[in-house]
Amino acid sequence: MADSLDNTTDVPEQALDATTILVAGTASHAGKSTVAAGLCRRLADLGVDVAPFKAQNMSNEARAVVRPAAVRNVEPGASSAVPDPARDAEAPAFGEIGVSQYVQARAAGVRPTTDHNPVLLKPRGEGESQLVVDGVAVGHYAAGDYYAEHWEDARAAAEAAHARLAAAHDVVVAEGAGSIAEVNFHDRDLANVETARFADAAILLVADIERGGVFASILGTVELLPEDVRERVVGVAITKFRGDRSLLEPGIDEIEARTGVPVLAVLPYDDPGLPEEDSVSLPAVGERAVRGDDDGVPDAQSVTVAVPRLPRASNTADVDPLAAVPGVRVAFVPLDASLSDADGVVLTGTKNTADDLRAIREADLHQRLRAFEGPVVGLCGGYQLLGERLVAADVEGVADESTLRGIGLLPVETAFSQRKRVAPATWHVDGSGPLAGASGVVDGYEIHAGETRPVALARDEPVDAPREESTATPAAASIETPFSAADREPISLGAATGTVLGTYLHGLFENETARTAFVEAVFEHAGVSRPGASPSPATAGPDDPVEPPDPYARAAALVEQIPLDALCPDVER
């Protein structure tokens, strides 16, 4: 399997070499991401050189990955990427992609790069999104402005990225977005219609039966497609089915007769455990949802980590490793919820730190966090929120106010600028606070604007809260810096004091030393003995908690019944 970027440096002039499969949907959340990941792993297991692709994604769940040489130092007027001297002045080596394509690259066994998701839109509220092209943030735009002024450039970047992948691999598994049948959008549907055309793709149509009306959605979708795109549909996969498949046969026969498109598979309902693509999987603002409560551990022997549901939450998959620990419940809670039943708290990232800080203060969550005595961890935007101040917050879209008062649990402040740091990270941790006992190397990634620094005891800037609310203490007397890395100020990585810690390291809890330390701190605060390590499935008793199997293998097994000959008949396996 390919794991090199050497062959992705130029856009190939020859015809596309790879077979492209476009996994398109009749609607949003029909299971496209899971099916695409399953196909990537299944093909890779068969020895096929496969890579994922999504021309345009909309998600605040992002990962930092390598930018291929072809999109660095682009000269104005070059055809291989979107030229922008201001954007490319520093030729960043790393960029952002949506989490689904990161996961699919892992499933395929290839190194994730920005070619796998060349256009990313990160919603930030008020109908506006940050546009990320070839991994680098270009600016913030309303939808109308994006399609009027930037879509053509985005399309060029997507087509160039796909061409590089097609020249380097045997199969490209492309994921569509939403419904492929949005007729009001067919002239600018980059992830579906345009991808089908420039990639010469075979289309697998995915339809979700759980919501009802599956046959109507299949028929309507096929009939609404542009003729040239309709001809590319090679089959349908019905997803999320529970029950007796024979009951579907009359409907399947009717659909095949009306459309001429075969129903290739009826996939059972299953959740392989892959990270969610976007915040739609989160509870609505004001609602509560719990993860990890199906592990077989009695409630009396478990602990609850509260995750306040920020309106503009991002990278919430950071808490998934905690929910996978037996005995740990991760509860997404409304901002105005009590923390009385929480044993620990995690503040996730946010796409708009200033606006989410306002929401926290309006809900008085800052006061409840100050009174909370258990371990508290803030990740990325959560780190910024825990500090004393946000400086130059107008960069985040807050007009007429340059400084905002933070929650005040860490004696730090964050100064914003237009610069954004995107990079994988390997740091050393010498734990303190909620990570006491953690030691060694931790890996993850950074995606953030703003630099965090110790705050002085007194400052003169105006703030949006009374000065007497401040809990600031002299930074040198109280702050600890548990993370270190070469050529970096430790405070720019993270800080701790007492039971509170903040860090810019996304993926913190994927590291066993950090995860174990935090979980132990939560159990200790709760006064509950932590359940023993999970047995393997082979040795587990009927009441034992069991570690879940490999999610990539589960995804591959889920799509096993889809005949590959219908999707890529010319590929040797």
Catalytic residues: 380, 506
Please name every residue paired with 484 in a beta bridge, in sequence order, or none if there are none: 428
Q: Which two tokens stand for residue 216?
A: 């109507």
Give the total residue count for the chain: 573
Q: Mapping DSSP to helix (H, G, I), strand (E, B) and coil, where does residue 145 land?
A: helix
3-state secondary structure labels for all residues of 291-315: ECCCCCCCHHHCEEEEEECCCCEEC
Give the closest residue to 32 by CA, choosing from 95, 121, 98: 98
Rounded (5°) CA angle 292-297-298: 115
Helices vs. strands in the chain: H and E counts, helices first:
17, 26
Rounded CA-CA distance 368/366 in Å is 6
Number of Cβ within 10 Å of residue 338's Cβ equals 10
* R_g of the chain computed on alpha carbons: 24
Q: Which two tokens stand for residue 61?
A: 């769940």
Q: Which two tokens stand for residue 379?
A: 């990740």
Q: State the residue for tokens 């603002």.
A: 285
Distance between terminal CA atoms of the chain? 13
Asked if 311 and 338 count as a contact pair (C-beta separation under 8 A), the reply is no
Q: Which residues of 348-386 are buried (b: 16+ CB within 10 A; e: fewer)?
A: bbbbbbbbbbbbbbebebbebbeebebbbbbbbbbbbbb
Q: State the residue for tokens 């990890």.
A: 292
Task: Name residues whose C-beta falls within 8 Å of residue 148's C-beta, 6 or more positions apart in sequence.
Answer: none
